[in-house]
Amino acid sequence: MSDTIPPHNALPMGHQLQEYIIQFVLGDGGFGITYLAKDTQLNALVAIKEYLPNELAVRESNYTVQAKSEQQTKVFKWGLDRFLEEARILAQFKHPNIVRVLRFFKAHNTAYIVMEYEQGQSLADAVDQKGTAATQAELMALLPPLLDALETVHNAGYLHRDIKPDNIYLREEDNSPVLLDFGAARFDVGRRSRSVTSIVTPGYAPFEQYENDGSQQGAWTDIYALGAVLYYLIWGIKPVAATKRISVTMRGKPDPLTPLVEIGKGKYADSFLQSIDLALKIKQEDRPQNVSVWRTQLLLFSEANVSSSTSQKMSKKREKAGFQFKWYYGAAILLGLVVIGGGYSLFKYLEKQPDEQSRHKTTASNDYLEIQRQQIDVEKRRLDVARVAAAREAERLEQNLAQAREVREAEKQRQYIQIAQRDAAEIGRKIWKNESSGKISGFTVWNKQEQFASLGIGHFIWYPQGDEGPFTETFPDLLKFMQKQGIILPDWLQKTPNCPWNIRQEFMARQQSEKMISLRTLMKNTVPVQVQFMIRRLELALPKILETLPTETQRKHVRKQFHRVTQTPKGIYALLDYVHFKGEGISPTERYQDQGWGLLQVLEQMLGDSANATEDFVDAAEFVLKRRIQNSPPERNEIRWLQGWINRLNTYK
């Protein structure tokens, strides 16, 4: 079974796609989900990749995939065609180190690519398990097949565009690499829609991949990415993002990327490290322009090492042969000297032997010292790698500890908020009264000097098409929440992603229209559901707020004040109402003179330690709202709302 939690959009285990039965999720990203599935006809396991760009589309209850809006439908369908085209391209390759496509098909209003499944793991997982830097021998076993696969792709006129450790798979049987998850279709969709942000992987993507038109990309783009993978395997840290490198060097400062010739000096061949550094040059014209050129540069050191090694072996053989000569023929020479030349010649020959023996001893001593030096170098490298691994492990443990703390706090928060759900109807009536005095007409409001409609018990904001005001839009999210709860929306509302009334005058003139009446009826009949939506928003508010705070001291203070309020009789109501009334306080657009007025600012302002936390909350909220009025543009005349705001705050006590 997979150890990962399946994404909420994933097909369920046991779901059947034609002759394939889903087993579990292998992985997911911004562009799609990959499943392990069983081929019921061949009784074999396969990997199936589903086209599901999560920023463009969602899965409906009947498993079909739909674009999130009419505007995104065109981009979604265009991307679907690119996805299928990529499948056709991959199916052409019969290379042992390129993922093999078996077939592709359409279903559930999207498309699927069926690929061979082999036991193994990603290079990223292998590195995590090993915990040490790759040796030169390991890199040389990995590189030739990857270079060959990449050259095959380039020679066919295509680019990979997403080479990274996660997209290099190592077979279990022989550790041979396989290139996975080509990013060409994802890049093409990204060019069509600004909503798709996951089209590059920082650290592995060169600067030209951040440009929309793709005209500057070529073989050198993939070479940069593979160079970045080698950098990570040697150093244990991915390279500095290309955007940061550009930003720093444009200010006249040195490139922040530490060259491998410095990092790996003495541990790897200098020419090998230099070749990787060349691949990671910021300017594309400074990099090797094709795989053939780069392969020559990368593998040159290997040939030099082989030649050097062969030379050393030949030298040792000659040395050994010479030594044998002295002993095989020495006896004959000595005998001849004794018989023919007498004692003087024999004495002179024997006189030379101690010097010869001394020379061999010195050579042996030097060889021993060289071996010792090499062993010391190996131990130094091992310690360097161990230090890097220890630092990474410490970072991982710290992250796990932080996540555990967040989970614990979230669980505490959820327990408090679940208590409030039992009183959803009562809380809804209070909020409805706060927003519109409990009047039905108050469900559909457009205030003067505002650019948006305010709807429902909480006056959820709905902007007309093309408008993006400073305040967070919440009504579309409410409608999605209602649909998930099984609420049937009026037909016109299901097909209208933006407010159909463009200005306030038009909105007010349509107060008795069929659309407006159906909207008010929906809001009146779903008060508890609207409260549940607000509760859900509150559940998400604290973690989001804490993420914005730079120090643990600040986080501790805000967390403490939040929990103080939740433990009072009206605390949940106060938090629910305020977070919807004035937001979380984390949006950079909800600021006057760089000061916000949301829940974050109120919790920061609270200083008390008394049991009566709601009074402290009200006092802090009143201070923050008065500050907002002081900082607001004079033409907005926000002072006119102050008394109503204070009256609302007083209901929290």
**Per-residue model confidence as pLDDT tens digits over 519-555:** 988 888 888 788 888 877 777 778 888 888 989 889 9
Residues 491 and 509 in one domain: yes
Asked if residue 623 belongs to a domain, the reply is no
CATH number for the domain spanning 274: value is 1.10.510.10
Residues 60 and 132 in one domain: no
- 249-253, 309-313, 606-610: the lowest-pLDDT one: 309-313
Residues 227 and 285 in one domain: yes
Query: Sorting pLDDT into bands at 50, 70 and 90, what band is 86?
Result: confident
Q: Does this model's pTM top 0.85?
A: no
CB-hemisphere CA count at 13 Å for 139?
24
Residues 83 and 159 in one domain: no
The residue-averaged pLDDT of 252-260 equals 92
Asked if residue 8 belongs to a domain, the reply is no
The residue-averaged pLDDT of 567-575 equals 83
The residue-averaged pLDDT of 100-126 equals 89
Q: What is the mean pLDDT of the chain?
A: 79
What is the per-residue pLDDT for 156?
Answer: 82
Domain boundary among 491, 524, 557: 524
* 123-159 residue pLDDT tens: 988 888 877 888 888 888 889 999 999 998 888 888 8
Residues 111 and 206 in one domain: no
Query: Sorting pLDDT into bands at 50, 70 and 90, what band is 231?
Result: very high
Residues 192 and 247 in one domain: yes
Residues 171 and 148 in one domain: yes
Q: Is the pLDDT of residue 513 over 80?
A: yes
Q: Is the pLDDT of residue 474 over 90?
A: no
Asked if residue 180 belongs to a domain, the reply is yes
The residue-averaged pLDDT of 7-31 equals 83
Backbone torsion region of residue 217, taken as left when φ is above 0, otherwise alpha when ψ lies between -120 and 50, otherwise beta: beta
The residue-averaged pLDDT of 36-55 equals 88
- Top-ranked range on mean pLDDT: pick from 123-132, 222-231, 640-649: 222-231
Q: Is the pLDDT of residue 238 over 80?
A: yes
Residues 89 and 33 in one domain: yes
What is the per-residue pLDDT for 321?
Answer: 39
Residues 148 and 239 in one domain: yes
Output the six-digit token pair for 582.
């004035």
What is the per-residue pLDDT for 88?
Answer: 84
What is the per-residue pLDDT for 106?
Answer: 92
> Per the structure, how many domains does the chain have?
3
* 293-322 residue pLDDT tens: 998 888 764 444 434 443 444 444 434 433
Judge whether 225 and 149 are in contact, CB under 8 Å. Answer: no
Structural domain harbouring 507 = 424-524
Query: Sorting pLDDT into bands at 50, 70 and 90, what band is 93?
Result: confident
Domain boundary among 474, 506, 524: 524
- 36-50, 191-205, 383-397, 471-485: the lowest-pLDDT one: 191-205
Q: Is the pLDDT of residue 495 over 90?
A: no
* CA 159/CA 199 separation, integer angstroms: 14
Identify which has the larger pLDDT, 294 or 27. Answer: 294
The percentage of residues in the chain with a pLDDT greater than 70, rounded to a whole number, is 78
The residue-averaged pLDDT of 321-345 equals 39
Residue owning tokens 């500890």: 401
Residues 157 and 271 in one domain: yes
Query: Sorting pLDDT into bands at 50, 70 and 90, what band is 379?
Result: low
Percentage helix, strand, coil for the chain under 3-state DSSP, each rounded to 5: 60, 10, 30
Asked if residue 145 belongs to a domain, the reply is yes
Q: Is the Cα dihedral 53, 54, 58, 62 positive or negative?
A: positive
The residue-averaged pLDDT of 270-278 equals 92
Backbone torsion region of residue 568, taken as left when φ is above 0, otherwise alpha when ψ lies between -120 and 50, otherwise beta: beta
Asked if residue 260 belongs to a domain, the reply is yes
Output the six-digit token pair for 205.
């993507």
CATH number for the domain spanning 81: value is 3.30.200.20
What is the per-residue pLDDT for 75?
Answer: 85
Asked if residue 105 belongs to a domain, the reply is yes
- 8-17, 32-41, 140-149: the lowest-pLDDT one: 8-17
Q: Is the pLDDT of residue 452 over 60?
A: yes
Output the six-digit token pair for 211.
């440009």
Residues 434 and 511 in one domain: yes
Judge whether 430 and 528 are in contact, CB under 8 Å. Answer: no
Cα 636-640-643 angle, rounded to 5 deg: 140
What is the per-residue pLDDT for 209?
Answer: 84
- 4-8, 27-31, 89-93, 463-467: the lowest-pLDDT one: 4-8
What is the per-residue pLDDT for 274?
Answer: 92
Identify which has the larger pLDDT, 485 or 405. Answer: 485
Asked if residue 248 belongs to a domain, the reply is yes
What is the per-residue pLDDT for 391?
Answer: 74
Residues 51 and 143 in one domain: no
Backbone phi, psi, residue 33, to 5°: -125, 140
Judge whether 442 and 464 are in contact, CB under 8 Å. Answer: no
Asked if residue 396 belongs to a domain, the reply is no
258 vs 13, 280, 283, 295, CA distance in Å? 46, 11, 16, 23
- 228-237, 308-317, 326-335: the lowest-pLDDT one: 326-335
Judge whether 134 and 197 are in contact, CB under 8 Å. Answer: no
Domain boundary among 116, 149, 168: 116
Q: Is the pLDDT of residue 324 over 70?
A: no
